[in-house]
Amino acid sequence: MTRKKRRALLCMLAVPLLALAPRSEESLPASAAEPAAVPEKYVALTFDDGPWPETTEQLLDGLAERGAKATFFLIGEQIAGHEDTVRRMADEGHQVGSHTFTHMDLSRGDPAERLREIAATDETLRALLGDGVYWLRPPWGFLAPQTAAAVEVPMVYWSLDTEDWRRLDADAVAQDIIDHARDGDIILLHDPYATSVEAALRAIDALTPQGYRFVTLEELFRQKGVEPEPGKLYIRPDELKRIA
């Protein structure tokens, strides 16, 4: 075989081998070279009955480390002596709301006293944090229609009740959130309990890689395109609770 024919034969054999060779990442389609983006889902962690020594501060530390935001519904009489903690909540971008002054059942008793309970915490928050719209969560979710009609801010119930105050079990509460949280949920927790703090932070760590973003209630409603109305009791941005 002549040298020219041998060279031609080698070229013919090389063509199929080149076709089988792996392509560089740069030559791959974008859909193959990059993992698919995880759709973002928004949920609101809400904490009742604070502020509380140690556990609320531990929760704030954990939220800051993770870049997560939450909403705190405070009992007015608990604020005295913990003003720095409440200021920290606001300074770090969390939402602060009212849980009445003494954790009063807003479905019973003197109607005027119920409104005083709401007003007292609102005044305390205004004195500490300045003018604002401090949303209300009725203790236990109980609310009389005539009281609701007089409330001038949005009110919040919940769509996922972890029963953390009863369980006092970080593993069970965290798993409940991980298993049942859905886009748009309002999750009920209580920051006086160390188990609840631990559970919330574990849930954030587990759900963040799945595309969940932990935001304030105001941000959750904004993301869902809902303008919250005063005197309405929200289970989720897209669902109201009947007040009867």
Is residue 190 within 8 A of residue 199, CB to CB? The reply is: no
Distance CA 213, CA 220 (A): 9
Where residue 199 sits, what CATH number does that domain have? 3.20.20.370
- Give me the pLDDT at residue 19, please: 42
Structural domain tally of the chain?
1
Residue pair 60/89 in contact by the 8 Å Cβ criterion: yes
For residue 108, what are the contacts with CB-CB under 8 A and spacing of at least 6?
142, 144
Q: H or E segment at 199?
A: helix 194-207
Whether 138 is in a domain gets the answer yes
The active-site residue out of 94, 122, 176, 190 is 190
169 located within any domain: yes
Q: Is 180 a catalytic residue?
A: no
For residue 39, is the peptide bond before it cis, meaning its omega torsion is within 30 degrees of 0?
no
Both structure tokens of 53: 């020594």
* 48 included as an active-site residue: yes
Whether residue 72 lies inside any domain: the answer is yes
* pLDDT, tens digit (0-9, with 9 covering 90-100), for 97-156: 999 999 999 999 999 999 999 999 999 999 999 999 999 999 999 999 999 999 999 999
Predicted TM-score (pTM) above 0.75: yes
Whether 111 is in a domain gets the answer yes
User: Domain of 147?
Assistant: 41-240
Q: Which of 48, 49, 164, 191 is catalytic?
A: 48
| Dihedral pair phi/psi, residue 75, rounded to 5° | -85, 125
pLDDT in tens, 42-100: 999 999 999 998 999 999 999 999 999 999 999 999 999 999 999 999 999 999 999 99
> Residue 20 — pLDDT band, cuts 50, 70, 90?
very low
